[in-house]
Structure 1
């Protein structure tokens, strides 16, 4: 996941990519790294 072109990158592992991307976009976990840095674009 990334927040913008040449921005912050988050690397994770999942067995359900569609669900995990949705969780990042909806910021299900507000204290997470992806929420803090607004990483919501799949790269």
Structure 2
């Protein structure tokens, strides 16, 4: 019982953290990942 309650609290904290992150931050992370994968693929 307690483990499922802990998971519910954890998921809500994750969702609240994702909502607080700026969309520009998500775009910057996406661009960084795309460039990183491109560099690794070219190597």
> So what's the TM-score if we normalise by structure 1?
0.29
Q: Which has the larger radius of gyration?
A: 2
> So what's the TM-score if we normalise by structure 2?
0.29
Say which structure is richer in helix. Answer: 2
